[in-house]
Amino acid sequence: MTEDIVHNLIMNTVPMDTTDGSLDVLRQTMSFEDSPFMTWEADHDVLKNANSTFPKNYEYAQLKVLAYRLAFLALHENQFGPARNEAMARYAIRHDREQNNNRIDILVDTASGDSTSSLDQHNVGVFDYECDPGTKFLVTNFANGKGFGASSNTQGIDQIHLGMTTGRVVLFMNNIPYGTVRDLMGHWRGSSCERFDLQCMFLPMSPCVLTKDDIENATRVSPEAYQLFLKTGKLDDELEDKKVLIKTAGGNKDPENPRLRETYVKRIFSMYEDNANAPKHTAAAWNFNVEILEKVKEVVMTEGYFANHVAMNYI
């Protein structure tokens, strides 16, 4: 796990940068390199051409793949986007350091002459980011006694839905030695290293990390508050204002909340809004137009089990 790989996963989240840039993110899935999920651009003319000779079911199949792909990137943006400003700052410092032969005081221990970075000196890993000050989190766990598939397909999907709808970075954490939530202290039996959590085998769900104080001051979502969320798609004001919420492993898969798909649509459309780093016309990447995005919206809002499939694919 190099600094460059982490930088690309953070910076190339959305397609507004470059078409190829988002492949850094998409390659983290289990999809084959030549799968439609990875190679959709080759068929984008099918959607652009209103007089296409392809059958309607072929066009819809392409739209489904595109909708899944964009929803996946929107979810990744939720998880990795808050680290972008810090990633840019780290990259700039690293670039200056390389240009100046490690002669920057902030990066060099002048007393010992050690040229390792200040991040290294303080044992900050390449995947450890403080993230933007206003970032909010949802902390959960993988329940002991269940395998990866069963855990992902029950509470894993539910937690992704909760985090995505409320704009919170979702962190799956086990073996935490402090705080008051016993479920977070337990090991996950599917792990194979001393961490006893998902990171024994998988990338972190986000580069954003929490402090000990964050965990100790976290607020647990009560069953009553969660049931209200499932009905309304919103958390009450008291929970909404908390930086860190804890919602531990549940049982069976819960129903979708009424704002979930609408949230995906808004996130997808926001990836194509004009900004300082994007081309000054809508949907520049992958030669989109507004009509295609509207068709994507229809797929997201109507396709059965869409959000569940996106969350499972991401996990």
pLDDT single digits (tens) 150-196: 888 877 899 999 999 999 999 999 888 887 788 888 888 888 888 88
> Confidence class of residue 93 from pLDDT cuts 50, 70 and 90?
confident
pLDDT at 92 over 90: no
- How many other C-beta atoms are found inside a 10 Å radius of the C-beta of residue 237? 7
User: What's this model's pTM, rounded to 2 decimal places?
Assistant: 0.87
> What's the average model confidence in pLDDT over 110-122?
58
Do 310 and 151 meet the contact criterion of CB atoms below 8 Å apart?
no
Cα separation, 76 vs 79, whole angstroms: 5
User: What's the pLDDT at 4?
Assistant: 86
User: What's the pLDDT at 90?
Assistant: 87
> Confidence class of residue 262 from pLDDT cuts 50, 70 and 90?
very high
pLDDT at 208 over 90: yes
pLDDT at 140 over 70: yes
Is 13 or 305 the better-scoring residue by pLDDT?
A: 305
Encode pLDDT of 119-135 as tens digits.
777 778 889 999 999 99
Cα separation, 179 vs 164, whole angstroms: 25
> What's the average model confidence in pLDDT over 256-284?
74
> What's the average model confidence in pLDDT over 62-87?
92
**The residue to which tokens 């984008």 are assigned:** 44
> What's the average model confidence in pLDDT over 39-45?
68
Is 115 or 35 the better-scoring residue by pLDDT?
A: 35
Cα separation, 165 vs 237, whole angstroms: 15
Residue extents of the structural domains in the chain = 1-129+259-315, 137-246
User: What's the pLDDT at 116?
Assistant: 53
The helix-helix angle for 56-80 and 260-270 (nearest 10°) equals 90
> What's the average model confidence in pLDDT over 22-39?
84
Cα separation, 120 vs 94, whole angstroms: 12
> What's the average model confidence in pLDDT over 7-32?
76
User: What's the pLDDT at 3?
Assistant: 85
Sign of CA dihedral 154, 156, 162, 165: negative
pLDDT at 58 over 80: no
pLDDT at 233 over 60: yes
pLDDT at 64 over 60: yes
